[in-house]
Amino acid sequence: MAKEKKTFRKDTLRRVLRYVRPQGGLIGLSLLFSLISVALTLYVPILVGQAIDAIAGAGQVNFALLGSYLVRLAICIGITALLQWLTGALNNRVTFQTVQSLRQDAFAHLHTLPLKYLDGHSAGDILSRMIADVDVFADGLLMGFTQLFTGVITILGTLLFMLRLSPLITLVVVVLTPLSLFVAKYIASHTYEMFRLQSLTRGEQTAVLNEAVGDLKLIQAFSHEDATIAQYDEINTRLQDCSLKATFFSSLVNPSTRFIYALVYAAVALAGAFAVLSGGLTIGALTSFLSYANQYTKPFNEISGVITELENALACAGRIFEMMDEPPMTPDPAAPKTLPAVQGDFALRQVAFSYDPATPLIEHLSLEAKPGQRIAIVGPTGCGKTTLINLLMRFYDVDGGQITLDGVETREMTRGELRSHIGMVLQDTWLPAGTIREIIAFSRPEATEEEIIAAAKAAHAHSFIRRLPQGYDTPIGEAGGSLSQGQQQLLCIARVMLALPPVLILDEATSSIDIMTEQRIQKAFAAMMAGRTSFIVAHRLSTIQNADLILVMNAGKVVEQGTHETLLKKGGAYAKLYHAQFEQ
């Protein structure tokens, strides 16, 4: 198990480096500026020591030499400050360009994932990966660029300068240094899994929060507030516990390494004092050495903090890559077929499909919808009506058999080509944020004002749109804003009526609309469906009595098919459904 975690972490690091590689030029420039900045920083103690030696002793101040040292000191500090600012700006650009690429790739991959993945993961968890985890990754990456290289160069540089001043005292520093490295490595190795657990729990929390905000009315309607709060509190408590553990262990790095550095500093001061007394060092040289000892130990402390942040960043990056590693939906064919003039001849031949291989749903389903036919699909809840629609739209691919449109198998077309010929109105409405005009024109962005208004009138949405504060320019927020469910559904109908594709799918398209409006819309649908192949999923059997063919489904199979009259005379499943609705 530990080996698998180590391999996973190495793979994550390699993938992060692949995202960083395109910024190689900026990174090289940042490293150059860091190198010069560190060199000048390390030169400052030499100047300070020489300045001290220039004033050591009563009446022995060399003002000309002292002034020269002070000027050089000011120049070094000024250049160092400028280079550090430039290095920070470059590191920021590298980090956020890397994060931008990662977010773009993750978002693009999200659109290639099959619905099976989206159905099996909460929206909150996906949002947490795309937003919170990427933000944490960015923070860790920025700290790594900012401090890691500078710290390493500072350590190597101070070693060289200390060796130049006193190899013996430098040996004392080097011998004590591995203690801090051992402590930092031990703590860092135990924090990765804790930060990973923290990231997972944060995803759970975001999922519950997203669900609670989106379904607040439903929660209040069923007086489920206490249970929801209890669920959130339980996750919040777990997040608190794992966050405290991760933070506690990571915070041990600083005081542990500082204690060791204090020992190093004390040992250097003691050895240096004896060297001064024996004449091996000047007071200025000892001052420089103590400054180097401090600069030498400080990067270790910073690097240990960087390692902790990088562990957290890698844990979050691992969750992002997990999503990006999910296999995408079956790719479109390399040489797809097109249908320039679609007639709307849909055929299913021996189709088999199941969401779970252990639980078959649709088996040996065959049917044909002739061009211009109105096919109604009815049956009890869970019989496979919506699944059939998902297969027609290729939201899911069949496990066996084939589906053809005008004789061409749908898997031989691109999904975009197939769906461009189908208009869909679902029971669950979806409206993007935008104005009423933009929402209706979503199906045909190039539509004219007159065409948009005509579609709204056909959907009987024009009257309520005119009453809105800004008419067709009224902005609507996410998920329909303040519009009622029925008004949202009217806009969805208008959106399809604007496109007028050759094939229509209406899945409980008028479920949220009042009876009077529904009757008018049914007339508009009848006109719109003329000459178009239409699939109508309905629970209210009064809306599909004029269908050319009614399919009665049960347990994924078509158990009956025929017209309204023939099915009633047959006295089977359809007749039972019909009489159950109208026996009153």
Tell the burial category of 41 from Cβ atoms under 10 Å away from its Cβ (0-12, 13-18, 19+).
Answer: buried
- Where helices occur in 252-373 by DSSP H, the ranges are 253-277, 283-324
Q: Is residue 225 part of a domain?
A: yes
d(CA 205, CA 280): 63
Mean pLDDT of 557-569: 85
Q: Residue 255: is its pLDDT beyond 70?
A: yes
Q: Is residue 341 part of a domain?
A: no
* pTM metric for this prediction: 0.64
> Do 538 and 419 share a structural domain?
yes
CATH number at residue 51: 1.20.1560.10
Query: Over the stretch 337-365, which tens digit does the pLDDT of each residue have?
Result: 888 788 888 888 888 888 877 777 888 88
pLDDT confidence tier of residue 190, bands split at 50, 70 and 90: low
Query: Over the stretch 173-183, which tens digit does the pLDDT of each residue have?
Result: 777 666 666 76
Overall domain count for the chain: 2
Tell me 405's DSSP state. E
Helix (H) or strand (E) holding 535: strand 533-537
> Do 141 and 89 share a structural domain?
yes
Number of H helices, E strands in the chain: 21, 12
> Do 317 and 354 share a structural domain?
no
Q: Is residue 391 part of a domain?
A: yes
Check residue 258 and give its pLDDT.
73
Q: Residue 464: is its pLDDT beyond 60?
A: yes
Least confident of 77-91, 259-273, 403-417, 552-566: 259-273
Mean pLDDT of 306-335: 81
Q: Is residue 95 part of a domain?
A: yes
Check residue 480 and give its pLDDT.
60
> Do 390 and 282 share a structural domain?
no
> Do 418 and 373 share a structural domain?
yes
Boundary (domain end) residue, out of 259, 292, 324: 324
Report the SS3 class of residue 313: helix
Residue 414 CB neighbour total at 10 angstroms: 16
pLDDT confidence tier of residue 384, bands split at 50, 70 and 90: confident
- Give the rounded percent of residues in the chain with a pLDDT score beyond 70: 88
Check residue 122 and give its pLDDT.
74
Residue 491: C-alpha distances to residues 211, 363, 463, 494, 511 (Å): 25, 36, 12, 5, 14
**Which residue's structure tokens are 């061009």?**
371
The amino acid at residue 359 is T
Check residue 354 and give its pLDDT.
85
Distant-in-sequence, close-in-space partners of 579: CB < 8 Å, separation ≥ 6: none
Least confident of 49-53, 97-101, 384-388, 396-400: 49-53
**Between 528 and 331, the higher pLDDT residue:** 331
**Which residue's structure tokens are 């600012």?**
85
**Between 510 and 395, the higher pLDDT residue:** 395
> Do 292 and 352 share a structural domain?
no
Q: Residue 266: is its pLDDT beyond 70?
A: yes
Mean pLDDT of 219-226: 74
Q: Is residue 418 part of a domain?
A: yes
**Between 289 and 361, the higher pLDDT residue:** 361
Check residue 446 and give its pLDDT.
87
> Do 301 and 366 share a structural domain?
no
**Which residue's structure tokens are 């935008």?**
434
> Do 288 and 418 share a structural domain?
no
> Do 221 and 72 share a structural domain?
yes
Structure tokens at 186: 């031990």
> Do 351 and 320 share a structural domain?
no
Angle at 429 between CA 406 and CA 459, to 5 degrees: 75
Range of the domain at 541: 346-582
Q: Is residue 128 part of a domain?
A: yes
pLDDT confidence tier of residue 162, bands split at 50, 70 and 90: confident
Check residue 82 and give its pLDDT.
93
Q: Is residue 330 part of a domain?
A: no
> Do 254 and 114 share a structural domain?
yes
d(CA 250, CA 146): 19
CATH number at residue 366: 3.40.50.300
- Give the rounded percent of residues in the chain with a pLDDT score beyond 90: 1
> Do 199 and 121 share a structural domain?
yes
d(CA 430, CA 391): 20
Boundary (domain end) residue, out of 260, 294, 324: 324
Distant-in-sequence, close-in-space partners of 182: CB < 8 Å, separation ≥ 6: none
- Report whether 83 contacts 33 (CB < 8 A): yes
Check residue 522 and give its pLDDT.
73
Check residue 229 and give its pLDDT.
85
Q: Is residue 239 part of a domain?
A: yes
d(CA 233, CA 227): 10
d(CA 323, CA 130): 10
pLDDT confidence tier of residue 305, bands split at 50, 70 and 90: low
Least confident of 56-65, 368-377, 472-481, 529-538: 56-65
Q: Residue 422: is its pLDDT beyond 80?
A: yes
Compute the residue count for the chain.
584
